[in-house]
């Protein structure tokens, strides 16, 4: 792919998408970056205030399940590259309402694949459909080993099942129609602008307000954590230099038990809030474990490092302090998100002009 590509980014108002858009818009001024987002609860255009008026950036409010709208966007902007991030991603929500996850993550991906195939059918050269997925499609690990690109799929939740299905559709379009595709599967992300239903921003906000910190089971579940800007760098690198038809795992080599992660967060947050160290440990509240809760995720991203030269830039201790400091310094952002006021930003910016 070259720098004159017109890239369609789906879900660009979300957590990872907003960091990716910011990177691409600033790094490639001659590339048109088209952000489409349905602006559900997790999409926040205020995350992109700093780039919303850049000449190489466009925003379109749209549903990726709307095939006619997707066809229109491909034609209007002459799209020749897709980075597909739009997804329902919260496991607890998928347990409560699996239909929404099947629609967005499976039908939405299929809709985009079909739109890309039809628009590019006469010339696939220089085109790329890059699908951003999750390590959760591989299932759960015990205390040893890592997920490799060749690890068989074994999804355990409705969320991971929907992402696994979307991955299969992407590969099927490559095999059946020769659509140029790449897939990446990433570990848990953390950093600024994450919707506060996710563990790290939720707990930072709860520590700040002296509210309970709900820990599933005994807090023994293990996750591999990656700073979101490092994920955005990896996506950029894979999009421009990755091998068509390949899969790349993206991970931080940074495993933490949930309870240990929480104690590190408490220690840092208490210090930044000028509290006695460990004072907020009293907020830890153990709750019934999540249904089908995977024990451990751990990604081996050796392939990405050896083939494309990527590695994480931040050690976790540095990244988590940077993250906690951002949320504490941006209390207005958190307050707007938790109150729902952020959803009015689209109307102010795009409807009332």
Q: What are phi and psi of 288, to 5 degrees?
A: -55, 140
N-term to C-term CA, the chain: 35
- C-alpha 183/C-alpha 156 separation (Å) is 20
- C-alpha 275/C-alpha 268 separation (Å) is 10
By C-alpha distance, which of 166, 70, 169 is closest to 120?
A: 70
Pair 324, 272: CB distance under 8 Å: yes
Q: What are phi and psi of 223, to 5 degrees?
A: -130, 150
At 262, list the tokens.
Answer: 């929480």
Place of tokens 């960091």: 19
Q: Is 159 designated active site?
A: yes
3-class DSSP state for residue 80?
Answer: coil
By C-alpha distance, which of 236, 131, 233, 230 is closest to 179?
A: 131
Pair 223, 256: CB distance under 8 Å: yes
Q: Is 136 designated active site?
A: yes
- C-alpha 17/C-alpha 14 separation (Å) is 5
Q: Which of 88, 136, 229, 230 is catalytic?
A: 136
At 166, list the tokens.
Answer: 């979307």
Q: Which of 138, 159, 190, 227 is catalytic?
A: 159
Which of left, alpha, beta for 78 (phi over 0: left; psi -120 to 50: alpha)? left
Q: E-strand spans in 173-332? A: 181-186, 188-190, 213-216, 222-227, 247-250, 255-257, 284-287
Q: What are phi and psi of 196, to 5 degrees?
A: -80, 35
Q: E-strand spans in the chain? A: 6-10, 32-37, 57-61, 81-84, 128-134, 181-186, 188-190, 213-216, 222-227, 247-250, 255-257, 284-287
Q: Which of 37, 88, 135, 321 is catalytic?
A: 135
Q: Is 246 designated active site?
A: no
Give me the active site residues, please: 135-136, 159
């Amino acid at each position: 792919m070259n720098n004159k590509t017109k890239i369609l980014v789906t879900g660009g108002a979300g957590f990872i998408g907003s960091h990716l858009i910011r990177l691409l818009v600033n790094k490639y001024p001659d590339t048109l970056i088209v952000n489409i987002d349905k602006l559900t609860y997790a999409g926040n255009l205020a995350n992109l205030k700093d780039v919303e008026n850049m000449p190489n950036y466009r925003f379109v409010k749209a549903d990726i399940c709307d095939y006619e709208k997707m066809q229109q966007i491909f034609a209007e902007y002459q799209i020749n590259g897709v980075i597909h991030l739009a997804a329902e991603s919260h496991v607890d929500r998928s347990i409560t309402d699996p239909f929404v996850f099947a629609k967005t993550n499976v039908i939405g991906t299929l809709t985009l694949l079909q739109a890309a195939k039809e628009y590019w059918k006469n010339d696939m050269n220089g085109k790329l459909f890059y699908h951003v997925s999750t390590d959760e499609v591989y299932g759960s690990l015990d205390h040893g080993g890592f997920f490799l690109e060749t690890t068989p799929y074994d999804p355990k939740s409705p969320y991971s099942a929907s992402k696994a299905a979307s991955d299969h559709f992407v590969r099927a379009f490559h095999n059946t129609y020769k659509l140029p595709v790449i897939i990446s599967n990433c570990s848990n992300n953390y950093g600024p602008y994450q919707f506060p239903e996710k563990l790290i921003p939720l707990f930072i906000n709860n520590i700040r307000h002296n509210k309970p910190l709900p820990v599933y089971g005994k807090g023994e579940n293990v996750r591999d954590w990656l700073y979101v800007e490092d994920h955005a760098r990896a996506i950029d690198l894979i999009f421009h230099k990755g091998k068509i038809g390949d899969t790349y795992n993206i991970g931080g080599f940074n495993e933490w038990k949930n309870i240990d992660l929480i104690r590190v967060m408490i220690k840092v947050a208490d210090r930044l809030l000028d509290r006695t160290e460990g004072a907020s440990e009293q907020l830890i509240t153990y709750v019934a474990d999540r249904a089908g809760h995977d024990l451990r995720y751990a990604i081996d991203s050796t392939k990405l490092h050896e083939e494309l030269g990527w590695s994480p830039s931040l050690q976790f201790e540095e990244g988590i302090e940077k993250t906690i400091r951002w949320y504490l310094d941006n209390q207005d952002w958190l307050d707007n998100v938790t109150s729902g006021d952020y959803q009015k930003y689209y109307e102010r910016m795009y409807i009332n002009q």
